[in-house]
Amino acid sequence: MSESLVTFHDVSRFYGEVLGINRVSLAIPPGVTSLVGPNGSGKTTLMNLMTGLIRPTEGEIRVLGVPPNQPGKLCRMVGYCAQFDAFPKGLTGYQFIYSYLLLHGFAPAESAARTRTAIERINMVGAANRPVAAYSKGMRQRVKLAQAIAHDPQVLVLDEPLNGLDPMARAETIALFQEWGGKGRHVIVSSHILHEVDRISDQVILLSQGYVVAEGAIQGVRDEVKEQPMQILVRTPRPEVLAARLFSQRCAVEARISADGKGLLLRTRDADATYLMLNRVVLEEGLEVESVAPADDDASSVYHYLIGAEGASV
């Protein structure tokens, strides 16, 4: 089982006396996993540890069963798009990808073929022979991504990969992550853009001050946050009727009718009971309901509940 997971067992990393991460235990399954947390929460430390760029002060890490101190094995199955916007001098986009494929041990012909495929994958065929130094920020970000995927890794680690991308490139990149994750590979992404975390992630890991605050599918994490009542948005022409019935049955702790008078935002401590009650009210009152949707089981809300005010600035 651990052969298909990225595992951290009681891992701590200190930079001198400064805490990077503390006693982190994780088992990351295949799919798209987002690391979410404020600056300094330990996201990059976690990524650098799993790619072997730094070593843990304590604890044990395995990437698909391989410890990161075996770069010969690890680097064949891991691709890392690091946060640094830096490139070796004097190379074109093509040369940048090709040169590091040669270092992976591919023969020149295969390196050339893989380079072309990676460049096509990120839609940069026209700019491939231009120096990287002449690229825009978004192009540099994309060519870094191409370099990280060119050797076809099983585990793709990406530190803020959507930074600097225009909306079109952003959509294409997200599609790439989803395709990669859908093939049963690991895509581990750190991001500050919470609504995109919702779109791309199969699971999230929330970090704060070097500790893992929560991990799992977003809805599952939200369900665990018992102290915050769930929010449910119901679109209906008669929200006051619904609100009265829910209050009479003590299903809601708060209800707010929207400004257009056709929506009701409920806060409830028991979502399942509320949904049952909603069904009953619809049947008994003949209530017309356009939509029912949870309003706070997204990454942004979960982040706000668990990490708090720090999250507001993210």
Partner 1 sequence: MNALWMRQLAAVWRLEWKKTLFSKRGWWIYCLALAPVFLTGMHWLIESHAHSRHHSLGDDSVAFAALFQFFYLRGAIFFGCMGLFSNLFRGEMLEHTLHYYYLTPLRREMLVAGKYLAGLAAALLLFVGGTVASFLLIGRHAGAAYTSYILHGPGLGQLAWYAVTAALACVGYGAIFLMTGLFFRNPMIAGAVVFVWEGVNPFLPSLLQKVSVIFYLRNLAPVEVPVPPPLNLMVIAADPTPAWLAVGGLLAVSALLLAYTAVSARTAEIGYGE
Q: Using CB under 8 A as the criterion, which residues of the chain lie in contact with partner 1 when the complex forms?
A: 15, 48, 51-55, 71-76, 78-80, 82, 84, 86-90, 99-100, 102-105, 107, 147
User: Taking the complex as a whole, how short is the minimal distance between the CB of residue 153 and partner 1, in angstroms?
Assistant: 10
Spatial contact of 148 and 2, defined as CB atoms under 8 Å apart: no
**Alpha-carbon gap, residue 221 to 51, rounded angstroms:** 26
Torsion sign (Cα): 309, 310, 313, 314 = negative
User: Taking the complex as a whole, how short is the minimal distance between the CB of residue 192 and partner 1, in angstroms?
Assistant: 17
DSSP H or E segment with residue 309: helix 309-312
**Alpha-carbon gap, residue 170 to 128, rounded angstroms:** 19
Task: Look at residues 6, 20, 32 and name the one whose alpha carbon lies nearest to residue 177.
Answer: 32
- Is the CB of 30 or the CB of 52 nearer to partner 1? 52
User: Taking the complex as a whole, how short is the minimal distance between the CB of residue 109 and partner 1, in angstroms?
Assistant: 12
- Is the CB of 44 or the CB of 236 nearer to partner 1? 44
- Is the CB of 59 or the CB of 263 nearer to partner 1? 59
DSSP secondary structure of 62-94: EETTB-TT-HHHHHHHEEEE-S-----TT-BHH
- Is the CB of 88 or the CB of 182 nearer to partner 1? 88
Strand order across the beta sheet in which 254-257 lies: 254-257, 263-268, 230-235, 291-294
User: Taking the complex as a whole, how short is the minimal distance between the CB of residue 52 and partner 1, in angstroms?
Assistant: 7
User: Taking the complex as a whole, how short is the minimal distance between the CB of residue 49 and partner 1, in angstroms?
Assistant: 10
- Is the CB of 147 or the CB of 301 nearer to partner 1? 147
